[in-house]
Amino acid sequence: MTCANPIAGATLVDYWAGDLDEAETAAVDEHLFGCADCTASSARVAAVAQALRAEIPTVLLRAAVDQMRARGARIRENGFTPGDRREVDFAADADLLIHRLGGLDLTGAERVDLRITAESTGALVSDIEAVPFDRAEGAVFIACQRHYAALPHDTIMSLSIHAAGAPPRTATYTILHRFL
């Protein structure tokens, strides 16, 4: 019952990361359907990959923040109002920063889009349509994560608020990150 020619662990990780080409992916699929051992190995990689995928989206709701805090996440929350331009520290003992992009009237909002660019270069960092938003609190919560240190630190976060029968409104927050 032991596989004579098991798929390399590195290949399984590439497979789950979506970094194999079509032919390589098909070859892995074929092997897995014929092999219980490699299926078990693949499941172990998949479980971790799925857990990381499920971890934390860039934009979330207050309830999700509270839930993570309850689970023991070390979260620092910073509040911003439109037009703010401020530095924030990602302290070494924090798991997550929450940027509360507030001061918004979201009563009639149907959709909120988020666009993040670098202040210095104008480079697009992230462009997410229809982000979750907290209508009652008039805010959007950004989950700033440690691995974002790889992205530009000087971010302009621009929210477009779409409501019926009115042109979209824009609110802009400039957040300069320092990863400590």
Partner 1 sequence: MTEAPEAELVRAIAAGADDAPAAEAELCRRFAPRIRLYGLRHLRDQDRAADLVQAVLLALLQAARAGRIADPARVDRFMLGTSRNVAARMRETDARTAGDAALAAIAAPDEPLERIDTEALWRCLRALEERARRVLMLSFNDERSADEIATLLAISAVNVRVLRHRSIAALRRCLDAPKEVDA
Q: Which residues bind partner 1 (CB under 8 A)?
A: 9-10, 13-19, 29-30, 32-34, 36, 39-40, 42-53, 55-56, 68, 71-73, 95, 145-147, 149-151
In the bound complex, what is the minimum distance in angstroms from residue 147's beta carbon to partner 1? 4
> Would you say 14 or 137 has its CB closer to partner 1?
14
> Would you say 35 or 161 has its CB closer to partner 1?
35
- Ordered alpha helix ranges (H), the chain: 9-17, 22-33, 36-54, 62-70
> Would you say 95 or 137 has its CB closer to partner 1?
95
Contact 62, 137 (CB under 8 A): yes
In the bound complex, what is the minimum distance in angstroms from residue 97's beta carbon to partner 1? 14
Centroid of chain to Cα 153: 15
In the bound complex, what is the minimum distance in angstroms from residue 178's beta carbon to partner 1? 15
The span from the CA of 172 to the CA of 18, in Å, is: 34
Q: What are phi and psi of 153, to 5 degrees?
A: -90, -25
> Would you say 10 or 136 has its CB closer to partner 1?
10
In the bound complex, what is the minimum distance in angstroms from residue 34's beta carbon to partner 1? 4
Query: Which run of H or E residues covers position 121?
Result: none
Strands 75-80 and 109-118: unpaired
